[in-house]
Structure 1
Amino acid sequence: MGAIFVDCTEELARVIRTRELPVPDTIKINEGNPTEANLVAMCAQADVLLVEHTVVPPAVLDACPSIRAIIFMGTGAGTYVDLHDAAKRGVKVYTTPGYGDRSVAEHAFGLMFSAARRIAEMDRKIRSGIWSPQGGLQLMGQKIAVVGLGGIGACMADLAVGIGMEVAAWNRTPRDHRAFVAELDEALENANVVSLHLSLTPETAELLNARRLLLPAKGFILVNTARAGLVEEAAMFRMLAEGQIGHAALDVFPEEPLPPGSPYLSLKNITLTAHAAYMTDSAYKELWLRTLNAYGKL
């Protein structure tokens, strides 16, 4: 019996090694992206799973009845573990929030700048032999709707204030933040940028539906480093085609990695990154230390 870290990334393994972070003897680290069959094989005798990015379906828990706890290394564990099913089995699911607030906010900020100045588009054109300077949007003075005022959203709001943007930040519960507004529609109204920083729950699924996507200014920038399911996908595609959304800058998708032929790959007014917003050495170090802290309390 013991704990297995089922899907350590190459980057996190490097940080653990180079920064000489502690690894308890009771934790076995597996590097890579395990299949369901791999999970069953490696977890047959485990009582605790550490999971960074791999879905753990009920079938794995069926095959591995010794599992008593799962530590999801991040937030939004429900995307990777069926929380209701786990609870019925008596399997506790823990999360490690807060480790990468600044890293994710900075990535969202970078996506916003890239979209505003069409950086990715120009890069693609230059690499294909086309020299075509493109105009863009100066962000100072523009309105940004920050949707979700947890640690990441608050950091994003503060960064936006720092460059002179007009910030309207909404949260499901009141927050003591100078940019907080109580109504989501008010925050979205005439926004030039909308940045999402919410967990995905039944209450937040498709929170940005067709009606709400019409509230920001025509041609607005949509930034999503949270969860794809927060946005009504069909409405987003339609409004990208019609110009209501001028540009979508996305780090999260309904299916990851994106499959061949995905409509996301053919859109020109879109910037894509590979669910990497949290991936900095500083965030990885904090993630591992918080994971060990959670493990130590089991």
Structure 2
Amino acid sequence: MRIVALDGYTLNPGDISWAPIEELGELVVHPRTPSDKIIERAAGAHVVLTNKVPLDMSALQALPGLRFVSVLATGYDKVDVAAAGVLGIPVSNVPGYGTDSVAQHVFALLLELCRRTALHDHRIRAGAWTQSPDWCFWDSTQEELTGKTMGIVGFGNTGRRVGRIANALGMNVIAYAPRSRFDPDYRPFEHVGLDELFTSADVVSLHCPLTPETEGLVDARRLASMRPGSYLINTARGPLLDERAVAEALDSGRLAGAGLDVLSQEPPAADNPLLSAKNCLITPHLAWASRTARRTLMDSTAANIRSFIEGTPVNVVNAAHLRTKG
């Protein structure tokens, strides 16, 4: 069994082990693969691992020996899953591996916006505390989360984990999910409509998928409906935001701050308005990437491959398109 990883660096830059997958066959790991090298590097592979390297119909057709694709992520939009299904190639993803990592990153962003710890550390090292006439100082308003309302858009595993952390911090939690069920996981959370969530929350955190219906979800109208001085957190997908409208809301003071781990274009173009917007924290799509989460992702990918080898593939995302490959 020949296994080829097309972009293995982000999963494992050297601080975890490939051993769980190496035990399953001959593993070749390419740290990164440019588009003109995809077919060459995947040639002869029975299993291909990809995170962000695209596998479209033309690439899949050029790989007659390919039997299985395992995506090194939960999202699988970089693979033409319908085409893979027609060709008889099951595609699996890894759901849920980064739930805790992403949820904790939400609060890393939010707490930094509210308390500006990095700013004050920098000011101290620049001599501001030594020069202060008072025994303490602050250069930004210090906000508490207790008593504020957290609005969560998308209430799957990560959204629910964010809700539990928010509740533990003394926040009220309201949530929107279009196909939600009133089950025990909602208590003590309140399920509300989308417009009500934006008008009622002090913090809006996005955890919904990117679909034609959700693209541009946070637009000028919704931003105008938010409470003055509220916060926006996005660890889901960049195109959920109208980025220019968000930048304008930050610069006008309508939003007190935004914490973003994703952008519409990654890396961002130099003219992205969020790069110069006030009180905007941006991290490079790393919310998922704790070492614990990456180890889980490695182990789960190995389990996906093992299940395929045993004839019972799991986490298959293209079952509706799948045809038996002769």
Q: Does TM-score exceed 0.5, indicating one fold? A: yes
Name the counterpart of 2:104: 106
After TM superposition, give the deviation of residue 296 of structure 1 in Å: 1.7
After TM superposition, give the deviation of residue 115 of structure 1 in Å: 1.2
SS at match of 1:137: coil
Name the counterpart of 1:153: 159
Name the counterpart of 2:174: 168
TM-superposition CA deviations, 1:44-68 (whole Å, max 9, x none):
2223221233333444334434334
Q: What are the residue-to-residue correspondences of 1:10-159 with 2, within 5 Å?
A: 12=12, 14-17=14-17, 21=20, 23-78=22-77, 80-122=78-120, 133-159=139-165
TM-superposition CA deviations, 1:115-158 (whole Å, max 9, x none):
12234555676778888721132111111101111111111000
Name the counterpart of 1:251: 261
Name the counterpart of 2:199: 189
Larger-gyration structure (1/2): 2
Q: What are the residue-to-residue correspondences of 1:234-249 with 2, within 5 Å?
A: 234-249=244-259
TM-superposition CA deviations, 1:73-97 (whole Å, max 9, x none):
222212x223444445444322110
SS at match of 2:286: coil
TM-score under structure 1 length normalisation: 0.87
After TM superposition, give the deviation of residue 31 of structure 1 in Å: 4.1
Q: Could you say if the C-alpha distance between residues 185 and 30 of structure 1 is closer, same or farther in structure 2, counting changes exceeding 3 Å? A: same
Contact 1:205 1:229 survives alignment (8 Å): yes
Q: Could you say if the C-alpha distance between residues 201 and 14 of structure 1 is closer, same or farther in structure 2, counting changes exceeding 3 Å? A: same
Contact 1:96 1:287 survives alignment (8 Å): yes
Q: Could you say if the C-alpha distance between residues 278 and 246 of structure 1 is closer, same or farther in structure 2, counting changes exceeding 3 Å? A: same
Contact 1:189 1:217 survives alignment (8 Å): yes
Gaps of 5+ in 1: none
Tell me how far apart the structure 1 counterparts of residues 162 and 97 of structure 2 sit (CA, whole Å).
15
After TM superposition, give the deviation of residue 251 of structure 1 in Å: 0.7
RCO higher in structure (CA 8 A, sep ≥6): 2
Tell me how far apart the structure 2 counterparts of residues 139 and 25 of structure 1 sit (CA, whole Å).
48
Contact 2:251 2:278 survives alignment (8 Å): no
Tell me how far apart the structure 2 counterparts of residues 159 and 100 of structure 1 sit (CA, whole Å).
15
Letter of the 2:14 partner, please give it: R
| Counterpart check, 1:292 vs 2:298 | no
After TM superposition, give the deviation of residue 289 of structure 1 in Å: 1.2
SS at match of 2:205: strand
Tell me how far apart the structure 2 counterparts of residues 12 and 250 of structure 1 sit (CA, whole Å).
23
Counterpart of 2:283 (choices 262, 273, 277) is 273
After TM superposition, give the deviation of residue 41 of structure 1 in Å: 1.6
After TM superposition, give the deviation of residue 188 of structure 1 in Å: 2.2
Q: Could you say if the C-alpha distance between residues 30 and 142 of structure 1 is closer, same or farther in structure 2, counting changes exceeding 3 Å? A: same
What is the root-mean-square deviation in Å for CA atoms of aligned residues? 2.7
Q: Percent identity?
A: 33
Q: Could you say if the C-alpha distance between residues 203 and 76 of structure 1 is closer, same or farther in structure 2, counting changes exceeding 3 Å? A: farther
After TM superposition, give the deviation of residue 29 of structure 1 in Å: 3.8
Counterpart of 2:292 (choices 278, 282, 291) is 282
Tell me how far apart the structure 2 counterparts of residues 66 and 128 of structure 1 sit (CA, whole Å).
60
How many pairs align? 296
Name the counterpart of 2:319: none
Q: Could you say if the C-alpha distance between residues 208 and 10 of structure 1 is closer, same or farther in structure 2, counting changes exceeding 3 Å? A: closer
| Counterpart check, 1:206 vs 2:216 | yes
Q: Could you say if the C-alpha distance between residues 89 and 20 of structure 1 is closer, same or farther in structure 2, counting changes exceeding 3 Å? A: closer
Gaps of 5+ in 2: 130-137, 309-326
SS at match of 1:297: helix
